[in-house]
Structure 1
Amino acid sequence: MRITRVVAAAATIAVAASAVAVAQTTTFAVGGSVTVTGGTKAKPKPGGLSFKFDVSDPSGNQTPPVQTYSIMYEGGRLNTGILPACKADTLNAMSTPDVASCPSGSKIGSGKLTALIGSAGQPTSSASPCQASLSLFASNKGHATLFVSSKLANCPVALAQAIDMQYVTKGEYAGLKFTVPELLRHQVGLDITVTHADVALSKIVKTVKKKKVGYIESTGCKDGKRDIVVTFTDETGASFPAQATLGKC
């Protein structure tokens, strides 16, 4: 991550707030959609998908940072090896990470997030808001790349950081899991907590060995309904799964 400037007042907020501890309950809400229904493991159907989540404290305080996210969909799969790779390590090795360097055809989606920069447990009114853009790219087989960027016009910190995402499966569920780097969770003694994110992954179809293959494919669900499960793991290792039914599978 490259930081251009941090608002000086933010450090003052951290010092003033550090003397007060506030009990906190975090609420997680998730949702999303899939553009295709049906399909089987033998005859999958290509499509696109989206997901979103909101994190809040009903008492109006800033929530603790989430360290690891696991976003799993029922009845689908990703064919991660069929597109050109734009690797997180390659982007982060640049003096100024720039997704313009990613190979043509490697982008798989985009989105946005809203965050608060302040002190967890303190009123959200004392935190600084931050808006950032999200770009997703194919990477090596079994991986994808999430690129987080912000500008000083919309955030106290200018960010440019790539995160490696791992493709994971569990029973009838498949999705992506990733750990947020320390520099995207803490700055100058302050906590960075994401309060909202939404991402859309495009429908992409490639020809592999003379066969049409989707980057995202629907393989059907046993109960005919598709669920999403997002597991939020905080810095203490405590995990909080949130589930929603998206409709027909």
Structure 2
Amino acid sequence: MKMPTLDATISRRLLVNYRLDPEVARSLLPPGLRPRLAGDAAVGGICLLRLSAVRPQWIGANAGWSSEAAAHRIAVEWDDDSGTHAGVFIPVRHSSSRLPVVLGGTVLPGRHEHAGFSVSESLSRITIDARARDMRVHADVSDSKEWRSQLFGTLGEASTFLREGSTGWSPAKGGKTLDGIELSTRRWEVGATEVHDVGSSYFDALPPGAAELDHVLVMRDIPSRWSASEFPIAQNQSIC
């Protein structure tokens, strides 16, 4: 896959994070990746984001496109000759735009499915409903100054953990290798939220007790760059 470097603005990003049973998380990962733990728990989640002015880096912002997107993810680690690295595994992405669906697996990493999004957003509260043939997500949160989490003792710890996992891996077209994409930002700011309601068909389908909602973070107005990464495991290694 030859992906151009893309610039965009993360207009809004919700990071919905779950505590996962490590063995269940491991069963969802391809060879070469293992769950990255926070204490005794694996970390799974949903990235719900609105991207604006998405375009190749050599094109002006006024020529970009915008979309709502959802990505279910599991925090992972892997090893290569230079040491241990952190990232996330993303089995599938969903987008309100048809463009990523067409370009997924060729120009953009991994598989992209089309989804319908309903968003209600004010200065302090965000409600998102996303539906596709294989996915349903609901999130209703509002900004908060209080921090509640069993995974991380402080908001700063959560922020660092997530920022370190900036590389995302997805099954490539054909399903036998992984496509990688790396996020870099000019600044990184996350805020805590009060959770009113969250649901995910992906995590709800896991065995009882395997996935427990932990917290939701919010990011707003973050300039970003997305570039391709090469998977550091032999490309002929099957992930099936």
| Common topology (TM > 0.5) | no
Task: Identify the structure with bigger relative contact order (alpha carbons < 8 Å, sequence gap 6+).
Answer: 1
- Which structure is larger by alpha-carbon Rg, 1 or 2? 1
Structure richer in strand, relative to its length: 2
